[in-house]
Amino acid sequence: MPPTSRQALAERLDGGADPPSQTVRAQLVLRELILGGELAPGARIAELALVERLGASRTPVRSALARLEEEGLVESLPSGGYVVRAFTEADIHDAVEIRGTLEGLAARMAAERGVSALPMAQARACVAEIDALLAAPVLAAPAFAGYVESNRRFHALLVELAGSETLRREIERAVRLPFASPNAFVMANSVGPRARDVLVVAQEQHRLVLDAIEAREGARAEALMREHARIARRNLQAALTDRESLSRVPGARLIRGLRSRESTR
């Protein structure tokens, strides 16, 4: 790594922060290196090498690697050290299915337990924001960026409607799985004639889920939310057939088989 790059990383990691903050910063930088392709899938990561590269002490680096292992981005080796994980399409499908199952449970619990007026109004307001973003027949880049943020907020609000701290923690854990978040493949379809259409379908499902929760239809709310998560799987399949689309997915090079696809183009 060039000296200027090493210095930049060190500046992001120091500043007299306490050990927990050092760990978080190391975790964020390492995640960025992995998702940005600087640490390739299969690459071995030695703890001492990272200490030098990041300009941090061993304790926060060790803790950051342990957290990234929990997220599924790296694997520990029996001989010591870590290796950057690669992901198959099946891995991604499973992660999305787990997230969809848990969000479906959140929707069912919200419907069965009932939701007070204020949190439901907040969720409806979020849907209205997305409606405004999708009003134009062709979406510009700022509209897609706005959708990503509003979509993230809608899914967070849905979890809050369930009123379960235990479920909230488990969903947060699931969303940290690589490529499992609601926005993982949104930007893959941000260009092209069908870019807006995919988001319109997802938005209608947002609205129907809230309708089912208000109507206290737990089974319907759960089924809708599980189906909603599967949009990510369809987006993945579409992205895998288009190198340009896949390049817009953070961490795309971690997907096993991508390079062989590229070599045939």
Delimit the domains of the chain by residue range. Answer: 3-84, 89-263
How many CA atoms are closer than 13 Å to the CA of 171, on its beta-carbon side? 24
For residue 161, the model assigns a pLDDT of 97
pLDDT digits (tens, 9 = 90+) for 188-240: 666 666 778 889 999 999 999 999 999 999 999 999 999 999 888 887 777 77
- In three-state form (DSSP H/G/I as H, E/B as E, the rest C), the secondary structure along the chain is CCHHHHHHHHHHHCCCCCHHHHHHHHHHHHHHHHHCCCCCCCCEECHHHHHHHHCCCHHHHHHHHHHHHHHCCEEECCCCCEEECCECHHHHHHHHHHHHHHHHHHHHHHHHHCCCHHHHHHHHHHHHHHHHHCCCCCCCHHHHHHHHHHHHHHHHHHHHHHCCHHHHHHHHHHHCCCCCCCCCCCHHHCCCCCHHHHHHHHHHHHHHHHHHHHCCCHHHHHHHHHHHHHHHHHHHHHHHCCHHHHCCCCCHHHECCHHHHHHCC
For residue 244, the model assigns a pLDDT of 73
For residue 146, the model assigns a pLDDT of 92
For residue 117, the model assigns a pLDDT of 96
For residue 21, the model assigns a pLDDT of 78
- Say which CATH class 3-84 falls into: mainly alpha
For residue 10, the model assigns a pLDDT of 47
For residue 265, the model assigns a pLDDT of 43
Tokens of residue 109, six digits: 């619990």
Quote the CA–CA distance of 264 and 262 in Å, as a whole number: 5
Quote the CA–CA distance of 101 and 171 in Å, as a whole number: 10
Contact 171, 139 (CB under 8 A): no
Quote the CA–CA distance of 143 and 68 in Å, as a whole number: 31
Rounded to 5 degrees, what are φ and ψ at 120?
Answer: -65, -40
Q: At what angle do helices 19-35 and 58-71 cross, to 10 degrees?
A: 50
Quote the CA–CA distance of 14 and 22 in Å, as a whole number: 7
In the chain, the N- to C-terminal Cα span, in Å, equals 30
How many CA atoms are closer than 13 Å to the CA of 44, on its beta-carbon side? 7
Contact 212, 220 (CB under 8 A): yes
Quote the CA–CA distance of 115 and 195 in Å, as a whole number: 33
Q: Which residues of the chain have pLDDT under 50?
A: 1-7, 10-19, 259-265
- Please tell me the CATH code under which domain 89-263 is placed: 1.20.120.530
Quote the CA–CA distance of 33 and 29 in Å, as a whole number: 6
For residue 129, the model assigns a pLDDT of 97
